Structure 1
Amino acid sequence: MTLRERKLWKQTSVEEIKDFVTQAYNQEAENLCPVDKMRAFTDSIRRTSCGECVICREGILQINVMAEGITQGTGRNGDIEVITEVSEDLIIGSCCNYGKEVGKITKKIIEDEQEQFEKHIKRKRCDTLVCKKFFSYYVAPEKCNGCGKCVDKCPKKVIAGGKDLIHVIGSSLCDRCGDCVTVCEAFAIQKAGAVVLKVPSEPIAVGSFEKQIENGGGLMARKRRRKSE
Structure 2
Amino acid sequence: MIGKERERWKEKSADQIKDFVTNVYEQEAKNPCPVDRLKALSDILRRKSCGECVICREGILQISVLTEAITQGIGRDGDIDVISEISEDMSIGSACDYGREVGKIAKQMLEDEREQFERHIKRKRCDALVCKKFITYYVSPEICSGCNQCLEACEPGAIRGGEGLIHIIHSDSCTRCGDCVLACKQGAILKTSASVPNIPKEPVPVGSAQLDSVQGSLMSQKRRRRSE
What TM-score do the two structures reach when normalised by structure 1?
A: 0.87
Q: Counterparts of 1:91-110 in structure 2 under 5 Å?
A: 91-110=91-110
Q: Which runs of 5+ in 1 are unaligned?
A: 213-217, 224-229
- Whose helix proportion is higher, 1 or 2? 2
Query: Is 2:173 the counterpart of 1:173?
Result: yes
Q: CA deviation at 1:22?
A: 0.8
- 1:46 counterpart SS class: helix
Q: CA deviation at 1:190?
A: 0.6
Is 1:10–1:95's contact at 8 Å kept on the other side of the alignment? no
Separation in structure 2 between the aligned mates of residue 148 and residue 20 of structure 1, nearest angstrom: 48
Partner of 1:53: 53
Q: Counterparts of 1:118-197 in structure 2 under 5 Å?
A: 118-197=118-197
- 1:209 counterpart SS class: helix
1:201-229 residue CA offsets vs partner (Å, 9 max, x unmatched): 222211221386xxxxx98xxx9xxxxxx
Is 2:136–2:176's contact at 8 Å kept on the other side of the alignment? yes
- 1:47 counterpart SS class: helix
Partner of 1:37: 37
Separation in structure 1 between the aligned mates of residue 187 and residue 195 of structure 2, nearest angstrom: 19
- Which residue type is aligned with residue 9 of structure 2? W
Aligned alpha-carbon RMSD (Å): 2.0
* Structure with the greater alpha carbon radius of gyration: 2
1:109-139 residue CA offsets vs partner (Å, 9 max, x unmatched): 1111111111111122222221111120001
Q: CA deviation at 1:16?
A: 1.5
Q: CA deviation at 1:141?
A: 0.9
- Which residue type is aligned with residue 30 of structure 1? K
- Which residue type is aligned with residue 166 of structure 1? I
Is 1:88–1:107's contact at 8 Å kept on the other side of the alignment? yes
Q: CA deviation at 1:5?
A: 6.6
- Which residue type is aligned with residue 194 of structure 1? A
Identity %: 58
Using a 3 Å threshold, how does the CA distance of structure 1 residues 144 and 99 change in structure 2: closer, same or farther? same
What TM-score do the two structures reach when normalised by structure 2?
A: 0.87
Separation in structure 2 between the aligned mates of residue 4 and residue 177 of structure 1, nearest angstrom: 40
Separation in structure 2 between the aligned mates of residue 6 and residue 198 of structure 1, nearest angstrom: 56
Partner of 1:67: 67
1:166-208 residue CA offsets vs partner (Å, 9 max, x unmatched): 1111111111111111121111111122233111222221122
Aligned length: 214
1:44-73 residue CA offsets vs partner (Å, 9 max, x unmatched): 111111122211111001001101111111
Q: CA deviation at 1:4?
A: 5.4
Using a 3 Å threshold, how does the CA distance of structure 1 residues 208 and 107 change in structure 2: closer, same or farther? same
Is 2:136–2:196's contact at 8 Å kept on the other side of the alignment? no
Query: Is 2:2 the counterpart of 1:3?
Result: yes
